[in-house]
Amino acid sequence: MLTIYGVYRSRASRVYWMAEELGLEFTSVPVLQARRLDNPLAADAPFNTLSPDFTAINPMAMIPAIRDGDLVMHESLAITLYLARKHGGSLAGQSVEEDGLLTMWTMWAATEVEIHTIKLVLTYDNGKEDTEEGRATIAVANRSLKRPLAMLDTHLGATDYLVGNRFTAADLNLAEVLRYAQSERALFDAHPAVDAWIKRCQARPAYIAMQAARTKETA
């Protein structure tokens, strides 16, 4: 049985979405981010990323993590690739070349996109969007995303999905990274192929199921 450690309002959302796509049975163990607690190491603190029982699973004290039989993994984007490959089907690469492309797009999402989109979502989550510092952060992130999104828009202008013209783990990973930037409507209006693609991804029943669970969590 797959065990997912995390909460839906975190990068664990990617793993929950993948589990839904694959129709996997799983146990969800809620692990709160320590930053949300006044004293995460208090004796009565809820299970969180600094709890000794969790750092034994992921010494980096970050969610998500999984246990799948004897295998323990962290790093959300790697977990989704692993689950897709293990369980096969259309979400995984169908050849070594496709495996390479799924890895390429996933690494690109992490190195070229998320470094900017995470700044956006944290600015809004922390209620700083109307401060001088927040507006500056948002402006820089928007400028920094223009080149990656222009490249992505060109690619998606010729295909509905990133690899093999079908929805794969690469689309799931990148769509979750780009979700952090959906507050920036002008970015998506300027890149219509990207906008149409992320709407296709987010119209999938598994995504909708994941988001329904996410909205039930305490913010």
**Exposed e or buried b per residue across 111-122, where buried means at least 16 C-beta atoms within 10 angstroms of its C-beta:** ebbbebbebbbe
Q: Which domains does the chain have, with CATH numbers?
A: 2-88 (3.40.30.10), 96-204 (1.20.1050.10)
Q: What is the pLDDT of residue 219?
A: 63
Asked if 105 and 162 count as a contact pair (C-beta separation under 8 A), the reply is yes
Q: Is 74 helix (H, G, I), strand (E, B) or coil?
A: strand
pTM score over 0.85: yes
The per-residue pLDDT string of the chain (219 residues; one tens digit each, 9 = 90 and over) reads: 999 999 999 999 999 999 999 999 999 999 999 999 999 999 999 999 999 999 999 999 999 999 999 999 999 999 999 999 999 899 999 999 999 999 999 999 999 999 999 999 999 999 999 999 999 999 999 999 999 999 999 999 999 999 999 999 999 999 999 999 999 999 999 999 999 999 999 999 999 999 999 999 876
Q: What is the DSSP code (8-state) at residue 113?
A: I
CA distance 129 to 122: 9
Q: What is the pLDDT of residue 28?
A: 97
Helices 12-22, 205-216: crossing angle, 10 deg rounding: 130
Q: What is the DSSP code (8-state) at residue 215?
A: H
User: What is the token pair recorded at 34?
Assistant: 């320590």
Helices 169-179, 12-22: crossing angle, 10 deg rounding: 140
User: What is the token pair recorded at 191?
Assistant: 């890149």
Q: What is the DSSP code (8-state) at residue 128?
A: -
Asked if 11 and 76 count as a contact pair (C-beta separation under 8 A), the reply is yes
Q: What is the pLDDT of residue 88?
A: 86
